[in-house]
Chain A
Amino acid sequence: MSQQVDININQLFIDKFSDFEHQLNGQKTLPIHDLRKKALHKFKELGIPNSHEEYKYTNFKKALTKNFTFNQLFKSKNDSSSFGNDYIINELEGNVLVFINGQFSESDSHFKSDEIDIKPLANAYSENPDTIAQHFGNYSKNNEDSYALLNSTYCNNGVFAQIGKNKIVNTPIIIYYISDARADEAVSFPRNLIVAESGSESSIIEVYSTIGEKNSFSNAVTEIVVEENAILNYFKILNETEHVYHVGLTQASQKKNSTINAHSYTFGGGIIRNNLHIAQEDENCTTNMFGLYLLNGNSHIDNHTEVDHKRPNSYSNELYKGILDEKSTGVFNGKIFVRREAQKTNAFQSNKNILLTNDATINSKPQLEIWADDVKCSHGCTTGQMDEEALFYLRARGIDKDKARAMLLYAFSIDVLKNVTIEPLKKYLDHIIAQRFNQEEL
């Protein structure tokens, strides 16, 4: 019975391709279309993962089969005129690109920069063919991850950004992906390509949100290239409802002496899976990864991170924290690979979780794989309650137990925020966390 359904969902994604091709118009002749066909071919082989080790705790198959019709896979253009701009992060200035159900909303977007070549990805296919040929699809795990394949098959739009050589860009690029699920289910396949040229410094913020009570599914891929000596700050923020299903892959490739600071904040959702894969291709790379997940209800969030140290003298540091309330489930899987040539690598990883109820679950798998001997690697994982000593100390100063607990949970969470350097963004995140724990803001 369920086997029958399985075949259907895979078949559905295969069958829809011809509809998709029809609405592409002239794009079918671009080289990218060959990539789509190759990805589809591979997807046919793999299908949606069911009992795969990588998706052991997070299975979308049932949810996709049960909750979606996928009748309207490709909606026409839209703008925010009917639902306002509540999705906007207040006071956060920058180059803004808005996508509604995967379609670019020109009227909601405003961007202009001398330092960055920035545009909707669909325009870049023809306008920046060389950059596309060089980078597009070269970093995502096209042959391994079914969802990345699905995105490569159906992706149409997203953001293309090429940060110029030695440009220090202070205004961030802010990408809003909005699912309009008011009238009907919303499905989208966002795709971004970010190329940070050598010596540049910039910030990219991806924000996902949903309007309406119907189900939404977004399957995103962001490819990032950080060239020599460049610094890139990357943020992915999901503040979603229980009707939202999201699976996203952020795949970064680092060159010599480069730095990536990757941040992931998830404050809700139905089933959310964030894949963050960073490959250090050359020496002296620095990778920082910070994550926070605050869940309640029946939310299920799965963060998979991977750092691949391939060359000597590299560094990575990872801190992921989570608080799980009610019936929520958290999954953390952090892989660190230190290849044979990556001598003198320092890699650290920490995952800390607090469960607030016995109906909440955490599955943590911090994984180290080391093939080089002269390295320093460690990981730590703790799951537990709040620090009882601290709780007592607060209570001894006259604070009631509930309030003391809330204070400590707030403190536990904002620890991760310390690393956010964009003030309005920090304020926004702090506001969400404070509200969650009934706290006054910073």
Chain B
Amino acid sequence: MLNITNLKASVEGKEILKGINLEVKPGEVHAIMGPNGSGKSTLASVLAGREEYNVDGGEVSFNGDDLLELSPEDRAREGVFLAFQYPIEIPGVSTTNFLKTAVNQVREYRGLEALDAVSFLSIMKEKMKLVEIDQSLLSRPLNEGFSGGEKKRNEIFQMAMLAPTLAILDETDSGLDIDALRIVANGVNKLKSEKNATIVVTHYQRLLDYIVPDFVHVLYNGKIVKSGTKELAMELEEKGYDWIKEEANSVV
């Protein structure tokens, strides 16, 4: 589904990703871990097409297409979803209105008919249960005045509505208490299927207790320095990142 080869990227002239290789197949959950500043969020942003990031080399193919050629909205329409670490506030635009616009533009791209208000609402109600999000939240302006947990829950709700084939969760666990974490994780788990894949970007192992990864990759200094299964995450939790850094530095 997703094939990243030797991806290099920089921001404001500073090289951050220094050759990432990663393959994600349908049905898989990949966790990307690593210390602060290792390039985790950059990777997520580059995949979603944030313009401040320059791609300096490498390739990313998504279901056979060159993902890097696509505009951010077309990436979304192709099925790439980024759950933002810091969801943006847009005053005056209700979440409902926002999502209806998004859903129907994605549908249009895929050659489907636009949903009318009634069918949109019924889908929305169904998905709301999934992430245990309150109706009142959705009629408020998008993310404005939302608590951290509410913002993250809203991200997962949007993910449910847009039904992506590849979901990238960027530090979705940051700022969440344990109950919110459980709700968010449950939402993600319910949305998992054999056809879609998930990339979980996180600093801590905590989230991985709830979203169990098939593969764990450790990103350090712009490269994936170690890959393994969920046991690797446990090891990181126990020993921290220092031993990885030492290992990586000694190789160089």
Q: A and B touching (C-beta < 8 Å)?
A: no
Interface residues of B (CB under 8 A from A): none
